[in-house]
Amino acid sequence: MVETTQALLTETVTGLDGIGVPVAASCATVGLARSTYYRRSRGYRHYKPVPSPLPQAKRQQPAALSADERATVIAVLTDTSYANKSVVQTYWHAFDAGRVMCSQRTFYRIAKAQRLVGDRRRTRTHGSSSRRTPAVAADAVGDLWSWDITELRGPGRLDRYYLYLAIDVFSRYPVAWCIEFTESKARAVTLFTEAITAHGTPRVVHSDNGAVMRSHDLVDSLTATGALVSYSRPRVSDDNPFSESLFKTIKYDPDCPNSFGSIQDAREWTETFLHGYAAEHRHSGLGRHTPASVHDGTAAQIHQQRQNRLDQYWVAHPERFRNRPTAPQHPQKTGINTHLLSQTG
């Protein structure tokens, strides 16, 4: 089969009348990838595909450092006598002292793998480094809720209203919200009590480290329902990305006022926005489904309808497509710092 395809391609490239034909056009004619042609034409008989190829990062390199040499590099990197020096400074001090025998690039690569490329001096951590990085997966609706509180400007220079907002991370659906004059522990408890009554108990409720979020009243109320609580590390906004992203979407909306005339104006505008966001916004992270359709389970039906329409279009006009068009994927598994779960799992 390989010889037949190669012979046909060679004949097509040469041309029956002796005039050369572009390789790309010839490959398209016989249905062969251009890279395959070049590989085979340059000695394909010696090419033996590997059944299960390993990624480059996982291959054993002949010139790689031994386990003992790598351990020596790590010992140098963690040596307290070099704590005030950068990785490059540490390398040359250790090299001149005869402690390491590798290139600077290899030394730095190991330091990066061990997460030792940052500031290694003793610094004030504000408690962030002593806390574990939160890692929570959201495989389905109800697995993870994320919530936070943000400020909205009022009519006066110092007037502020506070938007409490909780969303289901898998569907991005706003499960609870309110706008108040102050941040209140009691109001947060009431908000989640109403949300859990309407949508059921989530597996995990994640938030940042605000006083309301960590209040005993709210924590006790949530744990009593069976929900677990999770918190961001202090001063690490990436640990609560879904709430932060939605707040930016709200405040950067073209229709969002720079300031609201009253708290009632803020409530009415936010209600209209969140309704449109949930019921009409085709979310890029949800395969262009709306949060409401993912939350109520109708996204699968909509996905099938989209695929049926694309199939009809494809059959009617196949010349307009290189491949069969496919509808965007269903919402995939997501969560907070899920890469850490894959490393440990």
Give pLDDT tens digits for 244-263.
999 999 999 999 999 999 99
Enter the DSSP assignment of 175.
E
Given a cut of 50, is residue 336 above it in pLDDT?
A: yes
Position with higher pLDDT, 118 vs 336: 336
Angle between the N-to-C axes of helices 23-30 and 2-14, in degrees from 0 to 180, rounded to the nearest 10: 140
Band of pLDDT at residue 332, cut at 50, 70 and 90: confident
Residue 4 sits at φ, ψ, to 5 deg, of: -65, -45
Concatenating the DSSP letter of every residue in 268-314 gives HHHHHHHHHHHHT--BGGGTTB-HHHHHHTTHHHHHHHHHHHHHHHH
Quick one: how far is CA 180 from the chain centroid? 32
Q: Which tens digit of pLDDT belongs to each residue from 196-246? A: 999 999 999 999 999 999 999 999 999 999 999 999 988 787 889 999 999
Residue 331 C-alpha from the chain's centroid: 13
| Stated pTM of the model | 0.64
Cβ–Cβ < 8 Å for 334, 297: no
- By the 8 A CB rule, do 331 and 289 touch? yes
Question: Which CATH code, of 2.40.50.140, 3.30.420.10, 3.40.1350.10, 3.40.190.10, is assigned to 136-285?
Answer: 3.30.420.10
Please indicate whether residue 41 or residue 13 has the higher confidence score (pLDDT). 41
Task: Provide CB contacts within 8 A for 242, sequence distance 6+.
Answer: 146, 167, 169, 172, 336
Residue 178, both tokens: 């309110």
